[in-house]
């Protein structure tokens, strides 16, 4: 590991040889591809099977609930567009005049940021964490890294073999699962608590990614990716909620609803949020959406999303890290803007994610994932797996930790529809067919 690819270097002086290096020293495209290395990374992600599967994975509303609502795929595309916009905006600042951010790198990280999410959203994630609690854990961001560096089939043993800088930009958390689990302890709810981590088994890969890193913290591009994700979540998911009539102006007349929103906003980094601030913000945003014609309402909703995204991007600046040597920049989002985004996330959590129309489907998805895992967990059920998964499962079938990781990878890769189809085939009398899956 650690050899540098001979692909054309990126134009920005911000990136050194280490940033464009790949783990596969024998890259067959070395010297033949005129593209920027980060453009290559972006293409590899877009053409991956994990990326295609995002079209069948839940964002908030279940896939198939309507052709308007976002899936993980459309969400990821929107995050990438917002991330590019952020990078372009920040590159106009004097701090980056001599070392601009590579927009292709940010786009690649944004496109890859949700690859590790299992079917049925965060409830699927909680189900897999519960069964993997004692066997290395499960977490969507940790699974991202595993997909990018191991599971995708671009380069055997190297996954997509992305550049070090792209993997560093996807790496949100710099602690291994074991350390996070030990810090939490074994109190109530520990088994289903999703730790923000990378897997212990991926420590050598993380060590390679971090080799030559000047600072101990995550990269600026990773911070941009996360803020772009927060913007897309807070703004576009609100649009979905408005379309579904789950977010209405009258909701903000109820003190209990306002209190739950404020509590969630606090949890998401918004600080102490007065209830009147929630009420005032949502009235200011939603009052202008009143219109006699549906077409006009749609136009006003789109204008609202554009306004919010522009406000969140253009308020973002850079600042010097006070605890870092040298010239080391981090993203700075003003507290008032963070609070506004956190309030919108609280609105979506309380009025959308916790709505019975959504929670009943999520509960169903959690049961599906749990029962599928149970059915595939034993060392004598190899015939249940497709051939490619069986190849990975067979050598480790008697090693419980390794075997369960293969099972976890298999289930986490599924779309919602595939998981439901397999569930019916295994557990519902009369369901199933001998026709191969396409």
Residues 233-272: pLDDT tens digits?
999 989 988 888 899 999 999 999 999 999 999 999 888 9
Cβ atoms 60, 243 nearer than 8 A: no
The Cα–Cα gap between 173 and 55 comes to: 25
Q: What is the CA radius of gyration of the chain?
A: 22
Look at residue 433 in the predicted model and tell me its pLDDT.
55
Tell me what the mean pLDDT of segment 179-190 comes to. Answer: 80
DSSP code string of 92-135: TSGGGTTS---HHHHHHHHHHTTTT--TTHHHHHHHHHHHHTTT
Q: What tokens does 316 get?
A: 């973002």
Q: pLDDT tens digits, residue range 290-315?
A: 887 888 888 999 999 999 999 999 99
Mean per-residue pLDDT for 142-167? 93
Contacts of 371 (CB under 8 A, 6+ apart): 423, 427
This prediction's pTM: 0.91
pLDDT for 413: 96
Among 159, 162, 175, CA closest to 19:
162
Which residues, including other chains, have CB under 8 Å from residue 384's CB and lie 6 or more apart?
Answer: 375, 376, 426
User: Under a CB-based contact definition with an 8 Å cutoff, are residues 221 and 163 in contact?
Assistant: no
Residue 318 and residue 69: Cα distance in Å, rounded? 34
- pLDDT above 70 as % of the chain: 90
Q: Which helix (H) or strand (E) holds 317?
A: strand 317-320
Q: Which of 141, 148, 146, 143 is nearest to 162 (CA)?
A: 148
30 phi and psi, to 5 degrees?
-55, 125
Of the candidates 113, 215, 130, the one whose C-alpha atom is nearest the C-alpha of residue 167 is 113
pLDDT tens, position by position, 71-122: 899 999 999 999 999 999 999 999 999 899 999 999 999 999 999 999 988 8
Q: Let me know: does 416 contact 62? Beta carbons within 8 Å.
A: yes
Q: Is 179 helix (H, G, I), strand (E, B) or coil?
A: helix
């Amino acid at each position: 590991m650690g050899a540098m690819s001979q692909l054309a270097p990126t134009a920005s002086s911000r990136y050194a040889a280490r940033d464009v290096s790949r783990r596969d020293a024998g890259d067959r495209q070395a010297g033949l591809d005129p593209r920027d290395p980060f453009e290559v990374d972006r293409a590899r992600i877009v053409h991956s099977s994990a990326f295609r599967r995002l079209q069948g994975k839940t964002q908030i509303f279940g896939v198939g609930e309507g052709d308007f609502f976002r899936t993980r795929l459309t969400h990821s595309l929107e995050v990438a567009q917002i991330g590019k916009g952020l990078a372009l905006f920040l590159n106009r600042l004097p701090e980056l005049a001599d070392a601009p951010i590579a927009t292709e790198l940010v786009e690649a990280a944004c496109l890859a940021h949700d690859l590790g999410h299992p079917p049925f959203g965060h409830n699927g994630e909680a189900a897999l964490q519960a069964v993997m609690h004692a066997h290395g854990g499960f977490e969507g961001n940790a699974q991202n890294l595993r997909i990018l560096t191991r599971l995708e089939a671009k380069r055997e043993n190297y996954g997509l073999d992305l550049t070090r800088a792209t993997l560093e930009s996807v790496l949100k958390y710099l602690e291994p699962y074991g350390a996070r689990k030990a810090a939490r302890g074994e109190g109530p709810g520990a088994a289903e608590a999703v730790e923000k981590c990378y897997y212990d088994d991926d420590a050598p890969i993380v060590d390679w990614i971090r080799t030559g890193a000047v600072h101990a913290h995550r990269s600026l591009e990773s911070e941009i990716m996360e803020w772009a994700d927060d913007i897309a979540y807070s703004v576009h998911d609100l649009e979905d909620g408005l379309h579904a009539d789950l977010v209405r102006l009258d909701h903000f007349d109820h003190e209990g609803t306002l209190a739950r929103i404020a509590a969630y906003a606090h949890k998401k980094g918004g600080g102490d949020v007065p209830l009147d601030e929630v009420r005032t913000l949502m009235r200011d945003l939603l009052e202008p959406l009143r219109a006699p014609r549906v077409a006009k309402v749609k136009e006003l909703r789109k204008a609202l999303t554009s306004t919010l995204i522009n406000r969140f991007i253009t308020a973002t600046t850079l600042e010097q890290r006070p605890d870092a040597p040298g010239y080391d920049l981090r993203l700075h989002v003003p507290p008032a803007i963070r609070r506004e985004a956190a309030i919108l996330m609280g609105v979506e959590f309380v009025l959308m994610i916790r709505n019975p129309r959504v929670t009943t489907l999520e509960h169903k998805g959690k049961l599906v994932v749990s029962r599928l895992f149970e059915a595939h967990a034993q060392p004598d059920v190899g015939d249940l797996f497709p051939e490619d998964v069986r190849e990975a499962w067979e050598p480790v079938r008697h090693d419980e930790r390794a075997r369960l990781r293969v099972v976890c990878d298999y289930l986490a890769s599924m779309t919602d529809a595939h998981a439901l189809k397999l569930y019916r085939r295994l557990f519902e009398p009369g369901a199933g067919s001998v026709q191969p899956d396409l």
